[in-house]
Amino acid sequence: MSNDHPLLSIRSITRRFGGLVAVDGVSFDVRPGEIFGLIGPNGAGKTTLFNVITGLIPPSSGELTFADVAITRRAPFRIARRGIGRTFQNIRLFSDLSALENVQIAQHIHERSSTLAQVLGLPSARRDDRRTRARAMELLELVGLAGRASEIAGNFAYGDQRRLEIARALALEPQLLLLDEPAAGMNSSEKHELSAFIRQLRDQFDLTVLLIEHHVPLVMGLCDRIAVLEFGKLIALGDPASVRNDPAVIQAYLGDE
């Protein structure tokens, strides 16, 4: 983590919705290989920042750089193809499709055979299909859902849906993985497992992880660095120990006495 050349660079990002400033001049860098936590009270602008990074919402002002390329105002699909995958606070699987199909769709961009070859079922297409299917199965295996590959995603239990969503994001083969409240709705032992799992992902896939989380102990134990947002502004940035003792953070979380 001595490498301080940033993978994602957020520069003075501001996003207004009418009169509301949801994200207000936020700047920070995410370095390659780190697990970076984004915390803050409800409505602090964390998810809005995720939406800006992934291109769903253009920033009102500011610049984003990812792997040395400016991605500000790029189309979401281009940003995804550059290597940013994400999950959602309220899970957004394709609930009518099978688990396998959910993962395979994200591999769409890595297909090599032509559509015509696929219609005709040519050998190149079948090879491609076998390859993406095998890859998708590996990812399902990783999240422990390989045995249920052909089940419809909408029928999965909540926790399984969360894991399937992570497998789908990984199928993009991202460099940076954004996780929006991955531990929401989990009990404490599940939260422990999740922490270990996120570390494993980072190591196995050479990932950089940026995650939003409400559960402060989990963030403190898992993240290398943490940024704290309040009312759209960055109020603290640093390693867990320094953030924990930051007076501004204590005030944001506990309110002024």
What are residue 150's phi and psi, to 5 degrees? -95, 0
Least distance in angstroms from the C-beta of 74 to another protein: 11
Q: Yes or no: say if 229 and 235 are a contact pair by the CB < 8 Å rule.
A: yes
Closest by Cα among 8, 13, 38, 14 to 228: 38
Least distance in angstroms from the C-beta of 15 to another protein: 16
Least distance in angstroms from the C-beta of 141 to another protein: 20
First to last CA, the chain: 38
What are residue 136's phi and psi, to 5 degrees? -65, -40
Does residue number 184 form part of the binding site for another protein (CB under 8 A)? no
Reading the block at residue 135, the tokens are 């890859």
**One residue of 15, 31, 46, 86 binding another protein per CB under 8 A:** 86
Q: For the chain, give percent helix, strand, coil, nearest 5.
A: 40, 25, 35
Does residue number 77 form part of the binding site for another protein (CB under 8 A)? yes
Does residue number 106 form part of the binding site for another protein (CB under 8 A)? yes
Does residue number 172 form part of the binding site for another protein (CB under 8 A)? yes
Does residue number 54 form part of the binding site for another protein (CB under 8 A)? yes
What are residue 233's phi and psi, to 5 degrees? -105, 145
Least distance in angstroms from the C-beta of 110 to another protein: 9
Does residue number 175 form part of the binding site for another protein (CB under 8 A)? no
H-helix or E-strand spanning residue 88: none
Does residue number 33 form part of the binding site for another protein (CB under 8 A)? no
Residues 126-145 that bind another protein (CB under 8 A): 132
| Interface residues toward another protein, by CB under 8 A | 54-56, 75-77, 80-81, 85-86, 88, 92, 94-97, 101, 104-109, 111, 115, 118-119, 121, 125, 132, 168, 172
